[in-house]
Amino acid sequence: MNIIDDLKWRGAINQQTDAEGLADVINDHKIALYCGIDPTGDSMHIGHLIPFMIMERFARAGNHPYILIGGATGSIGDPSGRKTERQLQTMDQVNHNVQSLTKQMKQLFGSNSNINIVNNYDWTKDLSLLDFLRDYGKLFNVNTMLNKEVVASRLDQGISFTEFTYQILQSIDFLYLHDHYDAQLQIGGADQWGNITAGIDLIHKIDGPDTKVFGLTIPLMVKADGTKFGKTAGGAIWLNSEKTSPYEFYQFWYNQDDRDVIKYLKYFTFLDKNQINELAEKVKTEPWKREAQKVLAEQVTEFVHGKAAVENAERISKILFQGDVQKLTTEEVAQAFNNVPTSEISNQPVNIIDLIIEMGIDKSKRQAREDVQNGAITVNGNKIEDVKAEINPADYFDGHYVIVRRGKKKHFLAKIK
């Protein structure tokens, strides 16, 4: 199965500018291709992973992907997918984000020698306004630009000249990478179709209409329940371990719906067709074992955070399932309880009832006493049934945390001031 057929089987292709032509080129020789990301933040989230996983697939097939960090385009803002103007970032913030994303990309793809990282600021920083208008602006028809969906969708609300020209800058990227690195394919999200086709048009005008360049977009990822993929009650799932801990990251994938898990295995892992089909059968016949979800969590977490992170996440999961939180290290507590209700308390010993009220677990002392007397309160893994019991925050987790469980599943965390 060639790379395009594999992507089709995985459901990873939305649109192609010339499917037959691209297939012929790929069957004839290995190609260079690129995908870009603007430094609007200092970390990618899991939604960004999809096109870059495709880049990794191309690399493993012997092709030569270029990951473009948009130090230039990111400084003006892509209007795609937005109803209003972006708030411009300072150049210091843009440069910080460029460095952070570059480091993240190297962590993800640095071991693959076929993948290179470039920054479009390098070839645009010396471009004068007059050269921009004469060499490139003259080749773009305003009527054509207005008809691009990304621009047309903004005309009622208004769009600045800055964001209007974004597609010209991205087109220059494709032209530059084609002329200097022989890039023949650009990959992007479904909202990048207009920008990609603008780049192809520019290359055809400058390098000739028979120049073999192509565009491919990926589908918008939607969960089986119709909601947007990658969002949780706690917000986005980030690749930066300081924003989303490896344990939370692992749990996100492990908790996927049976209706979605096979689709995600196709998108986010490098398992082959036979392996995924076997897991699909197990989802049908033994869904309670959640084997497909476990494999998904292991594969994606290892790709992003490494094998040690998988082992640590599984260790934390096992400890929490058994209810023996005392086996957790201080660092593991921070990972495992990052998204539970959290409060701050002093480092002084405190009566259990006062602790429950201070942490916001119960609203009244009467309810707190009932919970303790009914055996519903566990502190640091120990069931507390004496309403006069005193809790010393220094007893566990290096004096940094107190973990309270109410009932079987509801956890609360106190950080020690």
Annotated binding site for ATP: 231
What gap in Å lies between CA 412 and CA 417, rounded to an integer?
16
Task: Write the burial class of residue 18 (CB in 10 Å: 0-12 exposed, 13-18 middle, 19+ buried).
Answer: middle
The answer to whether residues 50 and 221 touch, using CB atoms and an 8 Å cutoff, is: yes
Q: How far apart are CA 322 and CA 300, in angstroms?
A: 25
Q: Is 217 helix (H, G, I), strand (E, B) or coil?
A: strand
- Residue with the two structure tokens 């599984």: 314
**Cβ 175 vs Cβ 203: under 8 Å:** yes
User: Using CA atoms, how far apart are residues 296 and 256, in angstroms rounded to an integer?
Assistant: 9
Using the structure block, give the residue that is written with the tokens 């948009």: 70
Residues near 393 by Cβ (< 8 Å), separated by ≥ 6? 345, 346, 347, 348, 349, 350, 399, 402, 414, 416
- Taking Cα atoms as reference points, which of 268, 264, 252, 250 lies closest to residue 311? 250
Q: Is 40 exposed, middle or buried (0-12, 13-18, 19+ CB in 10 A)?
A: middle
- Determine the Cα–Cα distance for residues 355 and 377; give it in Å rounded to an integer: 11
Burial of 267 (0-12, 13-18, 19+ CB in 10 A): buried
Burial 93-108 (b: 16+ CB within 10 A, else e): bbbebbebbbebbeeb
Q: Are 403 and 379 in contact (CB under 8 A)?
A: yes
Known binding residues for L-tyrosine are 34, 166, 170
List residues forming the annotated binding site. Answer: 34, 166, 170, 231
Helix axes 307-322, 246-254, angle to 10 degrees: 70
Of 173, 290, 301, residue with least CA distance to 237: 301
